[in-house]
């Protein structure tokens, strides 16, 4: 076990203000692998002060130089790719291949995309007799989750730095180690002191202090809708900007005529990836009544192939929560066709890949975000019925539509109340905006839209 000391504040590792520590646990076996400092209000204040002091010079830095630092950051992350993957596997429990192909590779792509955007974005534009300036919003407080622990930080820090903002990051307490690697990469990339700051700590202490700090101009939070509501209320009271990326209950709509086997298999893989700990996962599969029984068989077979090859959930609390949802699904009358509420191993926070059939839209498992490897398969009568079911939750983060005719799938997707839809499988695009309708959040991440979250406008009239 390694005992890490210090917070990355003002370009250096500094001792924490208090003596408390957070234990980092490997969810695969329950072993404590490291400790990090549990940050206090004093640590957060020191980090925000450093960010405020660094803001004028960084905001005045030429976009080309900001782009160069982000390109250097991308290169530093590439050099650490294997270390990043091993670290995420140790603290999150993700299988090493997933850590390499997603947890390490996606943040590299995102950092690279913002290196290019910082160099090419028009920070000034003319409209009529005015010049409109796009200026950094100021100091950003970023509170990030554990499920994609590096990506979620880079998706905030890279656009913030591209915009000319400075930032204080409070990573999830379950996965702080990869955040420390990012701070080291920022240092290696020559990001000036105070521009990027890292404070590890508990949400109700360090996270709340960051959200409430009067020196923070924008709070960017990714996590549960419940916590997002509280952060939004705090930000509104202080009249500061807020960006919230919250929960989801995304629908995977398979229209008649689609390649059913492919749609079901890709849909199951989507839900089981990262052990179901993905806010945008397609956790509701909607199938026409005439193909329903075949789809259920395909989904059960696809889930069974995973066996116990998916990683554990991040901690015992999450494991209990997900198993409780599985029990509730059974109690409310859904039919288990794969997996179930019994843990597959004595040690570790594992949950079986689970598929429910005969799920109706009003059931708890069809309405609430489970955040585990649990798929609900629902039947629909016609396209209008499918649309009602797809749009029939408080969430609207992502989704998928499958059809033999791409135009038909696109027409259906246009009517879905959700922020991102994959057509016939789609492909991840780091330049496309990501974010939700309804209670899935406020604002967008990635691409130009993600950059503009960290900008404010000033118009000069001539």
Q: Cβ distance 100 to 81 under 8 Å?
A: yes
* DSSP SS3 for 68: helix
Identify the DSSP state of 392.
-
d(CA 226, CA 245): 12
Give the C-alpha distances (Å, rounded to integers) separating 151 from 4, 158, 273: 22, 10, 15
Q: Cβ distance 51 to 168 under 8 Å?
A: yes
Strands 166-170 and 422-423: unpaired
DSSP string, 6-32: -EEETTEEE--SSS-EEEEEETTTTEE
The continuous run of DSSP H or E covering 154 comes out as helix 151-163
d(CA 403, CA 413): 11
Q: Cβ distance 34 to 2 under 8 Å?
A: yes
- Among 144, 203, 181, residue whose Cα is nearest residue 4: 181
How far, rounded to the nearest angstrom, does the alpha carbon of residue 272 sit from its chain's CA centroid? 16
Give the C-alpha distances (Å, rounded to integers) separating 52 from 9, 139, 140, 343: 12, 6, 10, 48
Strands 7-9 and 12-14: antiparallel
Identify the DSSP state of 150.
T
Other C-beta atoms lying within 10 Å of the C-beta of residue 309: 9
Q: Active-site residue numbers?
A: 245, 279
d(CA 55, CA 165): 7
Q: Cβ distance 273 to 302 under 8 Å?
A: no
* DSSP SS3 for 141: strand
Whose structure tokens read 């590439």?
78
Whose structure tokens read 């234990």?
23
Tell me how many degrees the CA angle 98-100-104 measures, rounded to the nearest 5: 110
Q: Cβ distance 263 to 335 under 8 Å?
A: no
d(CA 2, CA 460): 54
Give the C-alpha distances (Å, rounded to integers) separating 291 from 254, 266, 301: 10, 17, 16
């Amino acid at each position: 076990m390694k005992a890490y000391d210090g917070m990355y504040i003002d370009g250096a590792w500094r001792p924490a203000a208090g003596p408390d520590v957070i234990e980092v646990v490997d969810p695969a076996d329950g072993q404590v692998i490291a400790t990090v400092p549990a940050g206090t209000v004093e640590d957060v204040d020191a980090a925000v002060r450093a960010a405020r002091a660094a803001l004028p010079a960084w905001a005045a830095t030429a976009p080309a130089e900001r782009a160069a630092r982000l390109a250097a950051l991308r290169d530093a992350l590439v050099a650490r790719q294997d270390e990043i993957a091993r670290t995420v596997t140790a603290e999150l429990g993700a299988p090493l291949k997933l850590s390499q192909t997603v947890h390490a590779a996606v943040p590299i792509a995102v950092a690279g995309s913002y290196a290019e955007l910082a160099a090419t974005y028009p920070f000034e534009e003319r409209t009529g007799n005015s010049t409109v300036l796009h200026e950094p919003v100021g100091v950003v407080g970023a509170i990030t989750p554990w499920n994609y622990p590096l990506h979620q930080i880079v998706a905030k820090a890279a656009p913030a730095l591209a915009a000319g903002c400075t930032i204080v990051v409070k990573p999830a307490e379950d996965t702080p180690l990869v955040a420390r690697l990012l701070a080291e990469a920022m240092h290696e990339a020559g990001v000036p002191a105070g521009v990027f700051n890292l404070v590890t700590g508990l949400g109700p202490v360090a996270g709340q202090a960051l959200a409430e700090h009067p020196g923070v101009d924008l709070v960017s939070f990714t996590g549960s809708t419940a916590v997002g509501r509280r952060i939004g209320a705090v930000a509104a009271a202080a009249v500061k900007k807020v960006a919230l990326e919250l929960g989801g209950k995304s629908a995977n709509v398979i229209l008649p005529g689609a390649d059913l086997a492919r749609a079901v298999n890709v849909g199951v893989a989507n839900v089981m990836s990262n052990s179901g700990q993905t806010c945008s996962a397609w956790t509701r599969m909607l199938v026409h009544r005439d193909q329903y029984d075949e789809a259920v068989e395909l989904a059960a077979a696809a889930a069974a192939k995973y066996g116990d090859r998916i990683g554990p959930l991040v901690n015992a609390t999450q494991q209990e929560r997900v198993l409780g949802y599985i029990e509730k699904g059974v109690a409310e009358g859904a039919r288990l066709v794969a997996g179930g509420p019994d843990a597959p191993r004595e040690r570790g926070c594992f949950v079986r890949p689970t598929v429910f059939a005969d799920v109706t839209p009003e059931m708890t498992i069809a309405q609430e975000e489970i955040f585990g490897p649990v798929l609900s398969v629902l039947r629909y009568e016609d396209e209008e019925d499918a649309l009602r079911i797809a749009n029939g939750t408080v969430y609207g983060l992502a989704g998928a539509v499958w059809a033999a005719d791409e135009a038909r799938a696109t027409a259906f997707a246009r009517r879905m109340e959700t922020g991102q839809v994959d057509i016939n499988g789609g492909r991840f695009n780091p330049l496309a905006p990501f974010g939700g309708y309804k209670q899935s959040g406020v604002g967008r991440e990635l691409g130009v839209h993600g950059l503009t979250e960290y900008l404010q406008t000033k118009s000069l009239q001539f």
